[in-house]
């Protein structure tokens, strides 16, 4: 298939070209994201291959269909940027990569968590300035704490297995329960309310949908343990950032690790060091030393990139074979 690959970085080109070593598909790489202003680039292609922060609205999908595109091979798992009903109406098939390396994202959640609770980000900055003071670097031990996973799917389960290794008590909230998984991993399903009330650490591993938008809002934050640590490697829209800022101010939230952010489109994946941040809530969050923000990089490991590329092109091959 002729595939237009959007929002590419050198590492995407490398991984996809390696996965296409036999030359089964014709790939063309575009740095641009796929949205209403860039859709014309898809002319002459059978398929488009966007990434997480694409905006495939009904209008974009209609134009893609007019241009002859028959397939969207998303090289990500979260498809919240695609109007699936509109794609169906336009006769465009949508494929995604449901699981490539859940371990990569779960490990990143723990990188954020351990950094936050041991304040290694602050120590790192100090030591580089030859300041070896331990002032306000007191952290807490994870062993014996309650780890609450919001979402017990692929990544949530990996995160819980890691938490188990640290000697945490594990609880999870997921509306779709599987007692066998709970027994295998060793966690207890609880209500959302109980999870909020009992967890010392809340780690988000659920998709962003209309139902889950702002699942962590002011009311939810009011129910948590004082000083709770929140880690979000799922989607920014799951947390009401304004309520989070208020809770950081009062100490209700003791620390937050964010790999994803509500307004990340147009912010992350780019070097904006010479420009002010457009989104003022992100800038306001960064003021807190106990807010640790990374640039949506949970997926960014060698192993995950290889798996994403192979599944994405495999999806295109399956479509081509009918």
Catalytic residue list: 235, 264, 296
Using alpha carbons, list the distances in angstroms from residue 161 to 171, 186, 188, 199, 222.
Answer: 12, 8, 13, 16, 28
Residue 233 near ligand NAD by CB under 6 A: yes
Strands 201-204 and 291-293: unpaired
Residue 298 near ligand NAD by CB under 6 A: yes
Helices within 119-251 (DSSP H only): 120-128, 154-165, 179-185, 192-198, 218-223, 241-250
Residue 235 near ligand NAD by CB under 6 A: yes
**Among the listed residues 212, 252, 311, 315, the single contact to ligand NAD using CB under 6 A:** 212
Residue 174 near ligand NAD by CB under 6 A: yes
| Residue 296 DSSP SS3 | coil
Residue 119 near ligand NAD by CB under 6 A: no
Name the residue nearer to ligand NAD (CB basis): 45 or 212.
212
Q: Is residue 150 left, alpha or beta, with left meaning phi > 0 and alpha meaning psi from -120 to 50?
A: beta
In the complex, least distance from residue 305 CB atom to ligand NAD, rounded to whole angstroms: 11
In the complex, least distance from residue 80 CB atom to ligand NAD, rounded to whole angstroms: 7
In the complex, least distance from residue 127 CB atom to ligand NAD, rounded to whole angstroms: 28
Per-residue x/- marks for ligand NAD, 65-94, CB under 6 A?
A: ------------xx----------------
Residue at token pair 């100090």: 126
Name the residue nearer to ligand NAD (CB basis): 110 or 299.
299
In the complex, least distance from residue 174 CB atom to ligand NAD, rounded to whole angstroms: 4
Residue 238 near ligand NAD by CB under 6 A: no
- Give 251's Cβ-side CA count (13 Å radius): 1
In the complex, least distance from residue 139 CB atom to ligand NAD, rounded to whole angstroms: 24
Residue 296 near ligand NAD by CB under 6 A: yes
> Which span sits near ligand NAD by CB under 6 A: 55-63, 86-94, 97-105, 272-280?
97-105
> Which span sits near ligand NAD by CB under 6 A: 86-94, 124-132, 182-190, 228-236?
228-236
Report the C-alpha gap between 246 and 256 in whole angstroms: 12
**Among the listed residues 205, 221, 293, 307, the single contact to ligand NAD using CB under 6 A:** 205
- Helix 102-118 vs helix 120-128: angle between axes, to the nearest 10 degrees? 70
DSSP 145: P
Residue 299 near ligand NAD by CB under 6 A: yes
Using alpha carbons, list the distances in angstroms from residue 143 to 41, 170, 185, 201.
Answer: 52, 11, 17, 12
- Residues in the chain, how many? 322
Residue 260 near ligand NAD by CB under 6 A: yes
Q: Give the contacts of 171 (CB within 8 A, at least 6 positions apart).
A: 146, 147, 148, 149, 187, 188, 189, 190, 194, 195, 198, 199
Report the C-alpha gap between 230 and 201 in whole angstroms: 6
List interacting residues with ligand NAD (CB under 6 A): 77-78, 99, 102, 105, 150-156, 173-176, 205-207, 211-212, 233-235, 259-260, 296, 298-299
């Amino acid at each position: 298939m002729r595939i237009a690959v959007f929002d590419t970085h050198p590492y995407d080109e490398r991984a996809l070209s390696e996965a296409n070593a036999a030359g089964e598909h014709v790939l063309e790489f575009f740095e641009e994201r796929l949205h209403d202003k860039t859709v014309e680039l898809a002319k002459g292609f059978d398929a488009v291959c966007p990434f997480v922060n694409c905006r495939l609205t009904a209008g974009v999908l209609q134009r893609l269909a007019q241009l002859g595109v028959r397939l969207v091979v998303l090289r990500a798992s979260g498809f919240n940027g695609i109007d699936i009903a509109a794609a169906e109406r336009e006769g465009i098939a949508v494929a995604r990569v449901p699981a490539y390396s859940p371990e990569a994202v779960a490990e990143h959640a723990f990188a954020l968590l351990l950094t936050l609770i041991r304040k290694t980000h602050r120590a790192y900055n100090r030591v580089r300035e030859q300041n070896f003071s331990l002032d306000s670097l007191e952290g807490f031990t994870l062993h014996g704490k309650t780890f609450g996973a919001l979402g017990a799917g692929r990544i949530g389960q990996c995160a819980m297995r890691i938490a188990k290794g640290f000697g945490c008590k594990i609880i999870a909230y997921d509306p779709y329960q599987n007692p066998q998984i709970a027994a295998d991993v060793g966690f207890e399903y609880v209500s959302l309310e109980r999870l909020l009330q009992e967890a010392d650490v809340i780690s988000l591993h659920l998709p962003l949908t209309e139902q889950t938008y702002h699942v962590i809002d002011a009311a939810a934050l009011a129910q948590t343990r004082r000083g709770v640590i929140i880690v979000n490697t799922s989607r920014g829209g799951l947390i009401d950032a304004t309520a989070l800022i208020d809770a950081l101010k009062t100490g209700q939230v003791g620390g937050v690790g964010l790999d994803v952010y509500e307004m990340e489109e147009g912010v992350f994946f780019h070097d904006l060091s010479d420009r002010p941040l457009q989104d003022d809530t992100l800038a306001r969050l960064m003021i807190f030393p106990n807010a640790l923000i990374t640039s949506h990089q949970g997926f960014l490991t060698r192993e995950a990139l290889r798996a994403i590329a192979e599944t994405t092109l495999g999806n295109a091959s399956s479509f081509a074979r009918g």
